[in-house]
Amino acid sequence: MFDSLTEKLNRTFKNLRGHGRLTEKNIQDALKEVRLALLEADVNYKVVKRLVEDIRQRAVGQEVLESLTPGQQVIKVVNEELVRLMGETGHELDLSGRPPFVLMLVGLQGSGKTTTAAKLARHLKSKGRHPYLVPADVYRPAAIDQLKKLGERADVPVHPSEKERKPEDLCEEAVERAQGAGCDIVILDTAGRLHVDEALMQELERIKDRVTPREILLVADAMTGQDAVNVAKHFDELLGLSGVILTKTEGDARGGAVLSIRAVTDTPIKFIGVGEKLDALEAFHPDRMASRILGMGDVLSLIEKAQTEFDENEAKRLQDRIQKREFDLEDFRGQLKQVKKLGSLEQILGMLPGMGQLKQLKKMKPDERELVKIEAIICSMTLEERRNHKIINGSRRKRIARGSGTKVQDVNRLLKNFAQTKKTMEQLTRKGMRNMPPLIG
C-alpha cells in the first residue's frame, strides 16, 4: 500500500535527518520534494498546495528550527498535517436510534460494491449485529447471483430479488422483511454504471426517498486516483454522501484518492478494502493511515486484527502446552492457520514499524507459497508423527515428501526449523517468560 509515495517521502526525510541543524532553505528544498511526491501520487493539486503551505508555516517556526532534532520535528509536523488532511479521527457508522438501519451502497460499475456489501455485512455481524443483504441491481443478474453466494459465505440472509421489479419497490419490501426477520441492518447493493448518468441518479434518488437510508456510502476504487475523487463529488452533490468506502487500497501504490477525498468533498472515509477475502475490510483511521504512508507501520490495526481472528481459549491452551514443553507439529500447524487469517505476509510486515523502509524487504517479497508448502508437509504426516517429530526417520521423510509434492530437503528444513523454534520456546519459558505469545519459526 502506497509503496511509491512512502519511498519518496522517506528518501526526502532521510536527507533532512542528515543535517544537525536545519535552515529555512533546507526545509524549502525538502518541501519541493514532498510536493513533487504528492503530485506524482495523484493527490489533487489544490490539496497539495494547501498541505505543503501548512507544513511550511509550521516547519519554519521555533518548534522545529530550534529543536535538538529538527529533522524528526519536520516529520512530526508532516504526520500531523496528513492526519488533519484525512479527517483527524475515524468516523463510525451512525447506528443510533430505532432499527432497522438502512445502509445504501452506491458507486460506479466495477468499483467493488457487491463484494463490499458482503464484507460490510460480515464486519457488522462480527460486532453482534444482524445484517440483511439486498441485491438491488436488477439489471445485472450476475450481481444478484454473486451477492447470494457471498451472503452464504458470510452466513448472512439475502433478500430474494427479481429483475422485473423496480429497484425502489424491491428495497422498500426488503426493509419490511428484514424488520420482520429480526435483522437490524439492511445493506442495499444498488446498480452502477460505467460513468455517472442522469438515469442512474434518478433511480438512486427514488430509492433514497422510499427507504430513507441512515447512511449513503460511496464505494470507490482507490486505484483510480483523482477519478475516484471526481466521482465522489458528483455523488455527494446529487445524493448527499455520509461516507466513503475505498476499495483495492492494497494495490494502490500512490495514495491519491485516500489523501484527496476528504479534503475535496468533506466526506469522511469510513472503511478501506485491503484484499479480496470477506474479512479484508478495515475501519479507516487517519492517524494509522498517516503512519503507513510515512513508513511507520500500523501496529494497532495488526493487534486489533489478531484479537478478532485468534481464539482466546486456543491461545491459552497453546501457552499451557508450551510451558509444559508439549508443543508439537500439530500445534505448529494450528498456529500457521491462525497467522494466515491475518492476511498476506507482505501485509503483516507492512504494518510493523520500519519494515516497509527496508530495501531488502522490497526486493525480496515474502513467498506465500512457502506457508502452503509447510502446511502440505505437516498434513502429509501421520498424527503420531505430528505429535512426536523425533520418530520421523529417513524412510518416513521420503514418504512425507512424496505425499506433499515436495523434496526431502524441504522436509528436513521444516523439521530443523521446528526443533529450533521448540528449543527457543523452552529456553524462554525457563527464564520465566510465562506470558510470552506463541512463536512461529
pTM of the model: 0.70
Among 39-53, 144-158, 341-355, 420-434, the range scoring the smallest mean pLDDT is: 341-355
Q: What is the pLDDT of residues 392-416, one digit of tens each?
A: 999 999 999 999 999 999 999 889 8
Cell of 338: 491462525
SS3 of residue 439 by DSSP: coil
**CATH architecture label of 3-85:** Up-down Bundle (1.20)
Q: What is the CATH number of domain 325-430?
A: 1.10.260.30
Under the banding of pLDDT at 50, 70 and 90, the label for residue 311 is low
Radius of gyration of the chain (CA): 26
Given a contact cutoff of 8 angstroms between Cβ atoms, the answer to whether 366 and 349 are in contact is yes
Given a contact cutoff of 8 angstroms between Cβ atoms, the answer to whether 213 and 240 are in contact is no
Q: What is the pLDDT of residues 62-80, one digit of tens each?
A: 766 676 677 788 888 888 9
Under the banding of pLDDT at 50, 70 and 90, the label for residue 58 is confident
Cell of 54: 501548512
Cα distances (Å, whole numbers) of residue 357 to 10, 81, 394? 8, 21, 43
Tell me what the pLDDT averaged over the chain comes to: 82
- The pLDDT value recorded for residue 274 is 87
- The pLDDT value recorded for residue 257 is 87
Arithmetic mean of pLDDT, 167-192: 92
Per-domain residue ranges of the chain: 3-85, 101-296, 325-430
Under the banding of pLDDT at 50, 70 and 90, the label for residue 308 is low
**CATH architecture label of 101-296:** 3-Layer(aba) Sandwich (3.40)
SS3 of residue 120 by DSSP: helix
Arithmetic mean of pLDDT, 16-42: 84
Picking from 82, 79, 72, the residue whose alpha carbon sits closest to that of residue 14 is 72
The edge-to-edge listing of strands for the beta sheet with 101-106 is 131-135, 185-189, 101-106, 215-221, 243-247, 269-273, 281-283
Residue type, 360: Q
Given a contact cutoff of 8 angstroms between Cβ atoms, the answer to whether 161 and 144 are in contact is yes
Q: What is the pLDDT of residues 125-151, one digit of tens each?
A: 999 999 999 999 888 778 889 999 999
SS3 of residue 197 by DSSP: coil
DSSP string, 338-403: HHHHT--HHHHHHTSTTGGG-HHHHHS---HHHHHHHHHHHHTS-HHHHH-GGG--HHHHHHHHHH
Given a contact cutoff of 8 angstroms between Cβ atoms, the answer to whether 100 and 183 are in contact is yes
Q: Which residues neighbour 144 within 8 Å (Cβ) at sequence distance 6 or greater?
A: 135, 137, 138, 161, 163
